[in-house]
């Protein structure tokens, strides 16, 4: 006889959803295509509820302890109402991404997941500047515009545009301006060296949108032996 397990009704962002007794809020949300970002949650081992990255925080509005709670460890209970889109949730998640970014090496051009990078997507979703265009560009590696001889400014430029130009095959012109983080610049400049661009060429290209950063860029280029 098929067991008809009883359902628990919860509210997410004002809409009713039904969940099974052993499910978490995250399970119910994912099952119903409500977007909740995660990093430490592993879909292959859903029973491992770690609760450490804090990206899945939701705000409990009713039926539980009020405040921010991680949805991946919060069991569904009747009467529970949570918000995944409140200001508090947005700010908390944004802080988490910012904090992670503050310790991130950002060697995006070498990273195997670049182009599909969850983290870069999070940065874009939460409006954080700090990763270069390469993190969002699917053309890295063999398809990189630099290796094809085009002076693409992707490695030096703030992302958050979803690499619109490079996806279409046009070089990045650096319209989001040169990044302020010297370490990232240093790393990005290596790509130009490999591709054989000169200091002057890069400076002329970068000057268009980043006139103020020229001094810093020039200094770093000199240090890097351009």
- Which residues here bind another protein, judged by CB under 8 A? 49-55, 57, 67-68, 70, 73-75, 88, 91-92, 95-96, 99-100, 102-103
Q: Pick the closer one to another protein by CB: 46 or 51.
A: 51
Give dist(CA 166, CA 152) in Å, integer. Answer: 8
Indicate the residue among 74 and 191 with the shorter CB distance to another protein: 74
148-to-93, 107, 143, 173, 200 alpha-carbon distances in Å:
38, 20, 8, 16, 19
Cα Rg of the chain (Å, integer): 22
3 state SS of 18: strand
Shortest Cβ distance from residue 102 to another protein (Å)? 6
Between 100 and 120, name the residue whose CB sits nearer to another protein: 100
Q: Would you say 37 or 154 has its CB closer to another protein?
A: 37
Residue spans of alpha helices (H) in 40-163: 87-102, 118-125
Residue 99 CB, shortest distance to another protein, in Å, is 4
Specify whether the CB–CB gap between 170 and 149 falls below 8 A.
no
Least separation in angstroms between residue 38's CB and another protein is 12
CA 147 – CA 149 distance, rounded (Å): 5
Residue 62 CB, nearest distance to another protein (Å)? 17
CB of 224 to another protein, least distance (A): 27
Q: Between residues 55 and 206, which has the closer beta carbon with respect to another protein?
A: 55
Are 189 and 146 in contact by the 8 Å Cβ rule? The answer is no
């Amino acid at each position: 006889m098929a067991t008809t397990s009883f359902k628990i009704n919860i509210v997410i962002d004002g809409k009713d959803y039904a969940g099974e007794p052993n499910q978490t809020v995250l399970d119910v949300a994912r099952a119903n295509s409500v977007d909740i970002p995660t990093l430490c949650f592993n879909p292959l081992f859903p029973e491992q509820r770690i609760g450490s990255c804090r990206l899945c925080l939701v705000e409990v509005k009713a039926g539980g302890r009020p405040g921010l709670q991680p949805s991946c460890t919060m069991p569904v209970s009747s009467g529970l109402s949570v918000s995944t889109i409140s200001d508090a949730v947005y700010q908390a998640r944004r802080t988490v991404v910012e904090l992670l970014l503050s310790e991130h090496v950002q060697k995006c051009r070498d990273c195997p997941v670049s182009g599909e990078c969850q983290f870069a997507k999070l940065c874009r979703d939460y409006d954080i500047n700090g990763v270069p265009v390469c993190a969002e560009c699917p053309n890295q590696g063999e398809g990189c515009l630099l290796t094809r001889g085009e002076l693409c400014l992707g490695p030096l430029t703030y992302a958050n545009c979803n690499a619109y130009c490079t996806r279409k095959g046009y070089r990045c012109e650096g319209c989001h301006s040169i990044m302020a983080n010297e370490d990232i610049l240093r790393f990005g400049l290596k790509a130009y060296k490999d591709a054989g661009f000169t200091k002057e060429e890069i400076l002329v290209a970068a000057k268009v949108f980043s006139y103020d950063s020229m001094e810093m860029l020039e200094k770093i280029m000199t240090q890097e032996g351009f």
